[in-house]
């Protein structure tokens, strides 16, 4: 059964559990199963060799009862509509858990950016935005970076949207470079949010951060920055990985040097004085803290029994299947779920949006302090719900998020 779990299966099962615990009105539960709107587009671009190639893209808008749709755009060869729908649903709960006035959305283009030039990626981005133009905007749907998209991608989106409107609209997208209205701290925001959650979880277990052994799966923006922050806080990083494989160093490794190695060679594999291992082996290393920051469905019923971490903080979306969740809970692992752990990115995206709307620019200290306040409050809200309801942290976070969205729907009513 679990082998067939898709991200959407997982998201719908999580919603079912939350609806059951909340004794949610069946009509509202039914509404929340489906996105409000889904658009699938064919993106035709001219490649560098002069040929024309067609890519499939989509934008899924799940729910906007609490505010404009918000969610990243990912470029990946394995993007599917089901996956993007699940991610949009998780964004709805995530925004509600951290209590920012957004609903959830997600976008994706099925492509392999590693095999495309900057020119091809720019043409792809601008064409994609022109095709979803009528559905997005600062008060309707605000995109952001995700897997294999970055600040440059967001700058192209801002420029395309602004050119089509006829004037500069920086608030139409977040995660932009500082030079065109981006926020201080946005690049590290998701990772800093993960580490604030790790710190709060460690306090609950009486675990000291200094010399705590940490493993990070995924060495993209989230994983690399989480490893760097943890290292700066005094944690011992004993293992990291990327899509090519992982490395293990029981004495601890320097993530800054690993990053340099990856920049030079294209992977963390074969880093000096480290043992190479698979992503699967990496997840099962003995450690205090595990941060899965890669893709969905990495921790399953197949490997959950072999997970040895005391704390798991989900930097990725949906890295743990429902069956694995139960097993980890029975083992006493303190799991900080994705909709709480990785909400730092959307929180600072919200700060960026507010700064753009008011044409202000906050300092890094202001941004990080506001982020810490938001994340710590959200963590405490979820933990209190967990204690009061005698439920695991994931169920508590879902109850909180789904409950807040359901309350907004009830208050607004149905029209017409």
264 classed as catalytic: no
**Per residue, what are the HEC states of the chain?**
CHHHCCHHHHHHHHHHHHHHHHCCCHHHHHHHHCCCEEEEEEEEEECCCCCEEEEEEEEEEEECCCCCEEEEEEEECCCCHHHHHHHHHHHHHHHHHCCCCCEEEEEEEECCHHHCCHHHHHHHHHHHHHHHHHHCECCCEEEEECCCCCHHHHHHHHHHHHHHHCCCCHHHCCCCCHHHCCCCCCCCHHHHHHHHHHHHHHHHHCCCCCCCEEEEECCCHHHHHHHHHHHHCCCEEEEEEECCEEEECCCCCCHHHHHHHHHHHCCCCCCCCCEEECHHHHHCCCCCEEEECCCCCCECCCCHHHCCCCEEECCCCCCECHHHHHHHHHHCCEEECHHHHCCHHHHHHHHHHHHHHHCCCCCHHHHHHHHHHHHHHHHHHHHHHHHHHCCCHHHHHHHHHHHHHHHHHHHHCCCC
Of 70, 94, 106, 310, the catalytic one is 106
Residue numbers annotated as active site: 106
């Amino acid at each position: 059964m679990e082998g067939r779990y898709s991200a959407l299966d997982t998201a719908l099962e999580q919603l079912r559990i939350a609806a059951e615990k909340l004794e949610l009105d069946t009509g509202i539960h039914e509404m929340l199963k489906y996105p409000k709107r889904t658009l699938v587009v064919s993106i035709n671009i001219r490649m560098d060799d002069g040929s024309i190639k067609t890519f499939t893209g989509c934008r899924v808008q799940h729910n906007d009862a609490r505010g404009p749709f918000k969610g990243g755009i990912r470029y990946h060869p394995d993007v599917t509509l089901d996956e993007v729908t699940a991610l949009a649903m998780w964004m709805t709960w995530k925004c509600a858990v951290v209590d920012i006035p957004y609903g959830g959305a997600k976008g994706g283009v099925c492509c392999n950016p590693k095999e495309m030039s900057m020119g091809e990626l720019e043409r792809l981005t601008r064409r994609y935005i022109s095709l979803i133009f009528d559905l997005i905007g600062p008060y309707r749907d605000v995109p952001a970076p995700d897997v294999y998209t970055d600040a440059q991608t967001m700058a192209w989106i801002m420029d395309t949207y602004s050119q089509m409107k006829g004037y500069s609209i920086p608030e139409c997208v977040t995660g932009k470079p500082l030079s065109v209205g981006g926020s201080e701290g946005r690049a590290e925001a998701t990772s800093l949010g993960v580490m604030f959650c790790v710190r709060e979880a460690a306090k609950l277990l009486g675990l000291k951060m200094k010399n705590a052994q940490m493993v990070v799966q995924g060495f993209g923006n989230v994983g690399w920055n989480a490893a760097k922050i943890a290292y700066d806080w005094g944690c011992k990083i004993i293992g990291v990985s990327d899509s090519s494989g992982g490395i293990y160093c029981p004495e601890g490794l320097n993530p800054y040097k690993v990053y340099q190695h990856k920049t030079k060679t294209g992977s963390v594999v074969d880093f000096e004085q480290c043992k190479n291992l698979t992503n699967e082996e990496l997840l099962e290393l003995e450690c205090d803290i595990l941060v899965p920051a890669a893709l969905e469905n990495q921790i399953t019923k197949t490997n959950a029994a072999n997970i040895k971490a005391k704390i798991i903080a989900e930097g990725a979306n949906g890295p743990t299947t429902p069956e694995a969740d139960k097993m980890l809970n029975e083992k006493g692992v303190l799991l900080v779920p994705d909709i709480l752990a990785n909400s730092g990115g959307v929180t600072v995206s919200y700060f960026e949006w507010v700064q753009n709307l008011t044409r202000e620019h906050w300092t890094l200290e202001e941004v990080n302090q506001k982020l810490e306040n938001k994340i710590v409050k959200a963590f405490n809200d979820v933990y209190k719900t967990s204690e009061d309801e005698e439920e695991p942290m994931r169920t508590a976070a879902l109850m909180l998020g789904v409950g807040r969205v359901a309350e907004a729907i009830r208050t607004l009513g149905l029209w017409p």
